[in-house]
């Protein structure tokens, strides 16, 4: 059985005080959520304080990106995966579509970041997903396959066991337009099939594949009812403790 993951991506929101307040408000609301792993991803500047304040709780903290570089060096503006681990992160989101669209993330750079995270001992949440134009052109599956192969290239089955995949159709992110449960299931099933082809059945069977894109308290249950949807990566609805806790407690 795959343990579901509900992850909140706070993007570039919240000053430190508000980040701490939201995290502390969330803590009791999800304290009994033993059915899933609960993760929040605040901005870099809030990670250490939030992680410290959540110590001993069932909430885990994630970075939103990391450097392709593992070692210290002259890379102004970059943060290594090891630095994320150092301040209490157990996960890092890699290749979110906003990074692909606006910050020149490629499958190749994503692959280097995934490897850097694995070297550092934190779990990558690797994001993939097609644009609306690609879906309309009938290319959704081939786009996702290319991102999957590129970002996860060269990884061993043991590496793959530490990875979480997030399928986030770009047309559903921040638009209020969620993929239907059927659309999500179709793509998640496809992704699992591709992982089975590349890394074998046992890796595919244990791989957690999250859906992302306008997930809300109102639609989480029907998404989670799909056999290949193992959780959610939530943006807007993760910013408030109340709505995020309702998503976590979807059962
Ligand atoms: P959304 O964002 O839930 O606001 O659509 C999801 C994401 O970008 O991870």
Task: Count Cβ atoms below 10 Å from residue 104 Cβ, excluding itself.
Answer: 8
- Ligand 1 atom closest to Cα of residue 213: 5
SS3 letters across 19-56:
HHHHHHHHHHHCCCCCCCEEEEECCHHHHHHHHHHCCC
Tokens of 70: 């593992």
| pLDDT for the residue numbered 161 | 96
Ligand 1 pocket test, candidate residues 98, 105, 170, 236, most atoms within 8 A of CB: 236
d(CA 241, CA 170): 25
* CA-closest residue to ligand 1 atom 6: 235
- Asked if residue 62 has its Cβ within 6 Å of ligand 1, the reply is no
d(CA 165, CA 191): 9
Rg of the chain over CA atoms, in angstroms? 17
Catalytic-residue membership of 96: yes
SS3 letters across 165-208:
EEECCHHHCCCCCCCCHHHHHHHHHHHHHHHHHHHCHHHHHHCE
d(CA 109, CA 233): 21
- Asked if residue 8 has its Cβ within 6 Å of ligand 1, the reply is no
Set 96, 130, 134, 199: catalytic member: 96
- Ligand 1 atom closest to Cα of residue 173: 5
* CA 137 to ligand 1 center in whole angstroms: 23
**52: which residues sit within 8 A by CB, 6+ positions away?**
88
Set 98, 105, 130, 168: catalytic member: 168
- Asked if residue 173 has its Cβ within 6 Å of ligand 1, the reply is yes
Alpha helices in 92-240 (DSSP H): 97-102, 107-120, 132-136, 140-151, 157-160, 181-199, 201-206, 220-224
Q: Could you list the pLDDT tens digit for every one of the 251 residues in the chain?
A: 899 999 999 999 999 999 999 999 999 999 999 999 999 999 999 999 999 999 999 999 999 999 999 999 999 999 999 999 999 999 999 999 999 999 999 999 999 999 999 999 999 999 999 999 999 999 999 999 999 999 999 999 999 999 999 999 999 998 988 899 999 999 999 999 999 999 999 999 999 999 999 999 999 999 999 999 999 999 999 999 999 999 999 98
| pLDDT for the residue numbered 177 | 87
* CA 98 to ligand 1 center in whole angstroms: 10
* CA-closest residue to ligand 1 atom 1: 235
| pLDDT for the residue numbered 9 | 98
* CA 73 to ligand 1 center in whole angstroms: 33
* CA 117 to ligand 1 center in whole angstroms: 22
pLDDT digits (tens, 9 = 90+) for 180-231: 999 999 999 999 999 999 999 999 999 999 999 999 999 999 999 999 999 9
């Amino acid at each position: 059985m795959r343990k579901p993951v509900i992850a909140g991506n706070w993007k570039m929101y919240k000053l430190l005080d508000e980040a701490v307040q939201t995290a502390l408000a969330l803590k009791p609301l999800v304290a009994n959520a033993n059915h899933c792993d609960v993760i929040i991803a605040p901005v870099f500047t809030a990670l250490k304080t939030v992680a410290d304040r959540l110590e001993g709780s069932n909430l885990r903290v994630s970075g939103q990106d990391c450097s392709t570089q593992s070692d210290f060096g002259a890379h102004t503006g970059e943060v290594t995966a090891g630095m994320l681990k150092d301040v209490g992160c157990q996960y890092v989101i890699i290749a979110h579509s906003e990074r692909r669209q606006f910050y020149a993330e490629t499958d190749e750079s994503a692959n280097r970041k995934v490897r850097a995270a694995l070297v550092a001992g934190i779990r990558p949440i690797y994001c993939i997903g097609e644009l609306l134009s690609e879906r309309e052109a009938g290319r959704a599956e081939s786009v996702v396959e290319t991102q999957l192969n590129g970002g996860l290239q060269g990884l061993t089955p043991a590496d793959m066991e530490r990875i979480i995949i997030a399928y986030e159709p770009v047309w559903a992110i921040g638009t209020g337009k969620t993929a239907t449960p059927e659309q999500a299931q179709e793509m998640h099933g496809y992704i699992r099939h591709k992982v089975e082809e590349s890394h074998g059945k046992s890796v595919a069977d244990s791989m957690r594949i999250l859906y992302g894109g306008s997930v809300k308290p109102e639609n989480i249950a029907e998404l989670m009812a799909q056999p290949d949807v193992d959780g959610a990566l939530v943006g807007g609805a993760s910013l408030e403790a109340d709505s995020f806790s309702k998503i976590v407690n979807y059962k």
